[in-house]
Structure 1
Amino acid sequence: MVESIGSPALWIGFLAFVALMLALDLGVFHRKAHVIRVREALGWSVVWVALALTFNALVWWQFGADRGLEFLTGYLIEKSLAVDNIFVFVIIFSALGVPPLYQHRVLFWGILSALVLRAGMIFAGTALLARFHWTIYLFGALLVATGVKLFLGRNEAPDPTGGRLMRLVRRVIPSTHELRGAHFLTIENGRRVATPLLLALVLVEISDVIFAVDSIPAIFAVTLDPFIVFTSNIFAILGLRSMFFLLAGMVERFSGLKTGLSAVLVYVGVKMLAMDWVKVPPALSLAIVAALLVAPVLLGAWRDRARGHRAAPASGRVLGPSRPEESR
């Protein structure tokens, strides 16, 4: 196992920083419920990315280029996989009728819970890899299989609010179909029931756990240092809410994103399977991940634009013959 750079003082300092930022977020900047506009979301996205890069620079300065590149690669992977969460969040809020006014509240508590859940999963994974090294091959195989599955289903829209999952949630949690302001619980017919906000929160939590099963092993393919794994994960999650409000209205435009994500998962899975025999330098690994993410998105955008240009002349040919008929 790799010796961790995380001393007790670093752990305490980082956790204190996260607690401070969350307190400022909910207690000061978003104390009153309001609709998050694109300009505000962009500002917060810049803040979170700047904080992550500042932390990255500190890691690079204090512990060397390799650890700095490991953090940056892990953060890039997590940030990219987080975009896929946005597709699911959009569906959850739309299906349950959660208005934009209350979406930030749901995401805040959902991500706060996700921080605790992911911390537990990271420490469990670290302990498992330290005790049973062969589990690294299981993680690698899981990532390869997940990447292939994501590629094959890249054109399918996920529906976490339908089917057995939604029926199970409603069976376990008595609920009403009507909102009660910003409340997660309300009284109906003399008993306490959940509002759609609580159901949305539960589904956000479930979807995040499902995504974490893929994303956390992906970080272990980059580094086995639990401090790097944890901090890169947390910085990506902290910026997820602002990224949601920034990108929620245009997720459909990222037509090549799932192809890129599937390629990254397959790459890090193969890297994990071969890490005992093949050592990929951190700088090269970062370049490969960036290329696998950016190239499919750019190619998808180029294809969409080409289709748009082809569709325009076609529509002109259809309208052309109709004009003489209309003039008669």
Structure 2
Amino acid sequence: MDYVIPAWFEIGSFVVLTLILIADLLLVVRRPHVPSPKESGLWVAFYVTLALIFAGLMFTIVGPDAGGEFVAGWLTEYSLSIDNLFVFVLIMAQFSVPKKMQQEVLMVGIILALLFRGVFILLGATLIENFSWIFYIFGAFLLITAAQQALSGREDDEERESKLIGFLRKRISITDEFHGMKIRTRVHGKTSFTPLLIVFIAIGTTDLIFALDSIPAIFGITQSPFIVFTANVFALMGLRQLYFLLGHLVDKLEYLKYGIAFILAFIGVKLVLHALHENEVPFINGGEPLAVPEIDTWTSLIVIVLAMAVSVAASLLKLRRENRYIPSLTGPSDDDEPAVVEATAESEATVRGARDAREG
């Protein structure tokens, strides 16, 4: 790391980001509603623009290396956040969380994610500063995670959530219905927990798992705790709006998990190469560094962008090739969805009928 981030810039950034997060939280509390696709899209564009402005400030004030590391780290965390988003979609669907509550539930999930990642960032920075060999462990961990990401099915997530529900329901009294944002309530004179408790536990567990994946990944791009944290904050800001914008589409991006797996594997290899380049482990080359190539930030940035672009494009092309319904980003409202499904079914039936008639 050949640059120095001014203290005033770090403090100012933390103050501004804190104010933005508080404003976002107050907006959810005071005006709980299901945002329209247009509203969600505008908010996502706003947060992406904020991240790009911050990147521009990093380029101008700190230097191109710091700016490049932030952009690469932000894109990496953003891609992992999209994967996190799928699990949020799964949790909301499986526990039948009412739509009017989903904004508040998602905000809790994002706050938990920030807390978990903050703890792991501090821990990771301390380990890196004192133990250079930790890069070997980070690299191996990311390579294993990449393999699991590529080979595991989404059915595994559903199975884990089902086991969690069964485990909790056997041990504590849980109502069948939600009671607003209450975690505990009284029903027929008996105090019971609501399904919201299970939802928060599921989301918190998911956040913890993704923090374990994402922090080693971004430390493979930059060793600056400030860049690591700000990249995570900007990746998580707007995730709530992205949920309402892409929630109906994210589970249809079949090849997205392979793109994310490739990114994790690539950063894992980069970490191992860096560890070999800085080697101090006695049983590897007698504790002397090895003359191995290192992957620079700009190469990482190009690889990350291409991996995400190719995986998303391939997923959309497969949907189109199979003539499957691709929801629009300005998609239908809840009231329109049955009509869309019905119209799509009728259209497919008409096509099949015409084809059968020709073949007959």
**CA root-mean-square deviation:** 2.5
Partner of 1:260: 259
**8 Å contact 1:107–1:201 — kept in the other structure?**
no
* 2:336 is the alignment partner of 1:299: no
2:228 equivalent in structure 1 = 229
Select between 131-140 and 198-207 the one with higher mean Cα deviation.
Answer: 198-207
Q: Residue 30 of structure 2: SS of its match in structure 1?
A: coil
Partners of 2:183 and 2:197 within 8 A in 1: yes
Partner of 2:196: 197
TM-score by length of 1: 0.89
Contact 1:97 1:196 in 2 (8 A): no
- Which residue number in structure 1 is paired with residue 88 of structure 2? 89
Query: Which residue in the other structure is 1:284 paired with?
Result: 299
Q: Which moved more, 1:257-266 or 1:33-42?
A: 33-42
Q: Which shifted more, 107-116 or 211-220?
A: 107-116
Q: How does 1:168-179 map to 2 (within 5 A)?
A: 168-170=167-169, 174-179=173-178
Q: Cα deviation per residue 1:168-212 (whole Å; 9 max; x = unaligned)?
A: 444676432211123233223545433222321221111011111
Q: Distance in 2 between matches of 1:19 and 1:57?
A: 20
Q: Counterparts of 1:1-328 in structure 2 under 5 Å?
A: 2=1, 5-6=4-5, 8-28=7-27, 31-154=30-153, 156=155, 158-159=157-158, 162-170=161-169, 174-190=173-189, 192-275=191-274, 276=277, 277-308=292-323, 315=352, 319-320=356-357
- Corresponding residue pairs, total: 320
SS of 2:215's equivalent? helix
Structure 1 pair 44–161 and aligned structure 2 pair: CA distance change class (3 A): farther
Q: Percent identity?
A: 34
Cα separation, 2, equivalents of 1:290 and 1:28? 32
CA displacement, residues 273-316 of structure 1 (integer Å, 9 cap, x when unaligned): 1012322222221011111111122223223323339xx89946
| Rounded Cα–Cα distance in structure 2 between residues aligned with 1:321 and 1:285 | 53
State the alpha-carbon separation in 1 of the partners of residues 243 and 74 from structure 2: 17
SS in 2 for 1:34: coil
CA contact (8 A) 2:116 2:211 kept: no
Equivalent residue letter for 2:185: T
SS of the residue 1:36 aligns to: coil
**How far apart, in 2, do the equivalents of 1:53 and 1:105 lie?**
27
Cα distance in 1 for residues equivalent to 2:215 and 2:256: 19
- 2:153 and 2:266 map into 1 onto residues whose CA distance is 17
Report the secondary structure of 2:243's partner residue. Answer: helix
Tell me, which stretches of 5 or more residues in structure 2 are unaligned? 278-291, 325-347
Cα distance in 1 between the residues matched to 2:57 and 2:185: 46
Q: What is the deviation of 1:155?
A: 6.1
